[in-house]
Amino acid sequence: MELVWEYIVRGVMGVFFDANGAFDIIPMAMVFSGLMLGIVVGATPGLNGPFAMALSLPILISVFGVSNEALLPILGFLIGLMKGGTIGGAVPAILFNTPGTPDAFLTTLDGYPMAQKGQGLKALKISHFSSACGDTFSDIVLFLTAPVLAVLIENVLDLPEKSALIILSLSFMAAVAGKSPIKGLIIGILGMFLALMGSTLSGNGARLTLGIDALGNGLPLTSAVIGVLVIGEVFLALEDTARDRLSKLKAAVILPEGDNSFGLKDIRQIMPRICTSAAIGTMVGALPGIGTTLAATLGYDAAKRLSKHPEKFGTGLPEGVAATEAANSAVSGANLIPVMSLGIPGNFAAVFLILAVESVGDFTLGPSVFRFTAIKEIADYGTIINKDLVVAFGIFTLMVMGNFFNWTVGWWLMRSLGILARIPKTIMMPVVLLITLTAVYVQDGGFIAIWVVLAFGAMGYVLRRLEISILPFVIGFILAPKLEELIRGGYSASGGDALFLLKSPLAVFFMFTAILIVVFVSRQSAGKSESRNR
Amino acid sequence: MTLTTKNQRPARDPWNVGFGVVASIAAFFTLLIWIPNDIKGGFIEINQIGKPEPGDAFFPIILASLMLVLSTGQLVGAVLSSKPQEASGKLTAHNLKFLFLFYTIVLAGLTVMYWLGPLVVDALRSTGVIDSTYRQLVDTAPYKYLGYVAGGFLMTTGLIAWAEGSIRPQAVLTVAIIIGALILVLDILLYNIQIPPNADF
């Protein structure tokens, strides 16, 4: 226990003090500014947390560099953005019936009627309180479960089992993230394949470069992911708004005229719904591939089922706002459970945290992080310590700080952002495009990054139009090098046994479950469409 | 062949079939042409101590084979399915026209961004106003901003004008402020960073 405490203290200290022992305000300031910007971004229709993370990452890397010291400030900003983005989405949802983020759609159901009754400010207070509760709860679950899970995984899983676990995660994501699991898997494999371009593990020279020298170092990872995620969305939003000519949001601010007080009585009223939703959001967030929207839907549904007056939901009920906001915010902490314990990103926000970790410093996410190596001072050598574990506790500290700022000052920003809902997408999206192209250019230092972004943007657009989830593609793209390493290592370690993945009962279980999930979800989708057609 | 609602398609959805066909062809091409011609290492190689170990082609071949199996499954399922299928997404001629127009505007903006600076410098050089090349001036105002400002402005206002059907003064102002802010942050406040297109020269 003493050792655990020692690592925690070092992790916390690492956030507040630099390598020379001097007080360092930068990581704290980065969390604060990330949270503030995240709330602003979330409150702007068309933008969301992962969007802002995508745009910020190249700029942050340009500003802070790629040394180990840069990691905590960069992660602090991204964590702040992630948290703020979820909270801010409620502002236009409540005031203008326009969800700032997709998961805030359900907030409109009761939030907007409350605003129409003159209780907009109260709805915002409930939303902020519920979000902060959900977020804090899921962070606590993350802090407690990720290390335990990681230690278990590290002790129990060997190369074949780890490979099988990644395959299971990808299959799960492909199955749940889109309409067709088979298409999701095909797209996931395509993402993995493209990630191999320009790499080599045998020293035989860059592979799959199509003869293009510029691809000798592989496709720029961040540019490719940003292309699919951001530019694909920019295409889609611009096309839709151009078609509809929705250049202006014709909504008026509902002025607070009714009862906007929010006290202990209200907290007692909404607390049971917050607890249920926070638990639901945390469970959903811990599973890779399931987003905040489903968490909000399940949270709202559960609140309705448990309510004594379900018929009042949708008419401006504080419990409705609380249930959706607690659920979608609880996802943000929990989605780091697979990231921290397995190194597998479960959603887009986690993708950018992984990208940051892969681009900056020598920290690696995954089960090996939580190895509590005995700390030893050796004369003339230095300290033997698991530095990754110290960074992991530093990341947890950043998350606690994010929650602290959210509880204390998040509300003051949130209440003043109604105006942002009036920014038309037709202006926002081209501006986002310019910022994206500039950001990837300054990070990769050349037009090649811009061409990659545009090419992957077209791919993202086509996939969205074909209603195929892009999540398996992105996750496959990121996990491919790791999976290749594990599979090659497992094959070599087995002495060239082609069936090495089926030699361990646990690996067989993971592989069998992966197949079962895909088959089950495929049959379920087929069944659904059949029953709809009857 | 009947359609009951707009969300339903007949049993054989051409987009599901098409997806299977395209993915199968891509997998075949990858396995038979791309991998053999673009990977120097083999599937399995014998290392220095005589043990077999995976070569550079090992993982790509596994992935491409899996893709072939799955896409064939998708194709066969889509062709043979007797049950009505849920409508999949589709790409319409309108979508393709949009993509074409979008890329035309973006590429026009990027072309201006890339070439304007060097062309202006060449013109000034040929008239004797300056005696430096663009490469020598990539860190000198105003030359280093010419392409970024003009190209960025053209691209952004072009997209706004196309999406809105007109261009409003507030849109122009917004774009100008954003470009100015990006230059301020990335070029003036930060060191060792080059805005487009200067790192390419």
Write out the DSSP string of A226-247: HIIIIIHHHHHHHHHHHHHT--
- B84, B90, B114: residue with CB nearest A466: B90
C-beta separation of B144 from B121 below 8 A? no
pLDDT tens digits, one per residue of B77-126: 888 876 655 557 788 898 899 889 999 999 999 999 999 999 999 999 99
Mean pLDDT of chain B: 87
Residues B101 and B128 in one domain: yes
Task: Identify which has the larger pLDDT, A471 or A437.
Answer: A437
For residue A423, give its domain range: 2-248+260-533
pLDDT tens digits, one per residue of B127-162: 988 888 999 998 888 999 999 999 999 999 999 998
pLDDT tens digits, one per residue of A168-214: 888 888 887 777 888 989 999 999 999 999 888 877 788 999 888 88
Q: How far is B194 from chain A (nearest CA, A)?
A: 6
* Closest to A103 measured CA to CA, from A281, A237, A272, A315: A281
Please indicate, yes or no, if residue B7 is contained in any of the structural domains: no
For residue B49, give its domain range: 14-80
Residues B101 and B190 in one domain: yes
* Closest to A339 measured CA to CA, from A324, A329, A349: A349
Residues B70 and B111 in one domain: no
Residue type for position A45: P
Please indicate, yes or no, if residue A253 is contained in any of the structural domains: no
Please indicate, yes or no, if residue A106 is contained in any of the structural domains: yes
Which of B34, B56, B80 lies at the terminal end of a domain, its last residue?
A: B80
How many independent structural domains does chain A possess? 1
pLDDT at res. A249? 45
pLDDT at res. B91? 86
CA atoms within 13 A on the CB side of A321: 35
Residues B62 and B98 in one domain: no
- Taking CB atoms and an 8 Å limit, are A492 and B39 in contact across chains? no
Residues B31 and B114 in one domain: no
Please give the structure tokens belonging to residue A434: 């310019």
Cβ burial, residue A271 (10 Å; 0-12/13-18/19+): middle
* Closest to A463 measured CA to CA, from A477, A449, A451, A450: A477
Preceding amide of B142 cis, omega within 30:
yes
- Residue A237: pLDDT band by 50, 70, 90 thresholds? confident
- A211, A466, A496: residue with CB nearest B15: A466
Radius of gyration of chain B (CA): 27
Residues B171 and B115 in one domain: yes
Pairing of strands B52-54, A376-378: unpaired
Whether the pLDDT of residue B2 is over 50: the answer is no
Whole-number Å distance between alpha carbons of B43 and B49: 18
Please indicate, yes or no, if residue A426 is contained in any of the structural domains: yes
What angle is formed at CA B11 by the lines to CA B9 and CA B13, rounded to 5 degrees?
A: 60
Contact status of A465 with chain B (Cβ, < 8 Å): yes
Number of neighbours of residue A9 by Cβ within 10 angstroms: 12
Please indicate, yes or no, if residue B8 is contained in any of the structural domains: no
Its ipTM equals 0.89
Contact status of A265 with chain B (Cβ, < 8 Å): no
Residues B57 and B103 in one domain: no
Please indicate, yes or no, if residue A330 is contained in any of the structural domains: yes
C-beta separation of A176 from A290 below 8 A? yes
Please indicate, yes or no, if residue A254 is contained in any of the structural domains: no
Which of B50, B80, B110 lies at the terminal end of a domain, its last residue?
A: B80
> In sequence order, what are the residues at sequence separation of 6 or more whose Cβ sits closer than 8 angstroms to the Cβ of residue A473?
A187, A188, A190, A191, A228, A459, A463
Residues B128 and B195 in one domain: yes
Residues B187 and B121 in one domain: yes
* A399-to-A336, A391, A394 alpha-carbon distances in Å: 11, 12, 9
Residues B103 and B157 in one domain: yes
C-beta separation of A96 from A251 below 8 A? yes
Please indicate, yes or no, if residue B5 is contained in any of the structural domains: no
Please indicate, yes or no, if residue A10 is contained in any of the structural domains: yes
Residues B74 and B147 in one domain: no
Whether the pLDDT of residue A301 is over 80: the answer is yes
Residues of B in Cβ contact (< 8 Å) with A427: 160, 170-171, 174-175
Please indicate, yes or no, if residue A45 is contained in any of the structural domains: yes
Nearest CA in chain A to B45: A202
- Residue A388: pLDDT band by 50, 70, 90 thresholds? confident
Whether the pLDDT of residue A45 is over 80: the answer is no
How many independent structural domains does chain B possess? 2
Greatest Cα pair distance in chain A:
78
Residues of A in Cβ contact (< 8 Å) with B56: 200-202, 204, 207
Please indicate, yes or no, if residue A72 is contained in any of the structural domains: yes
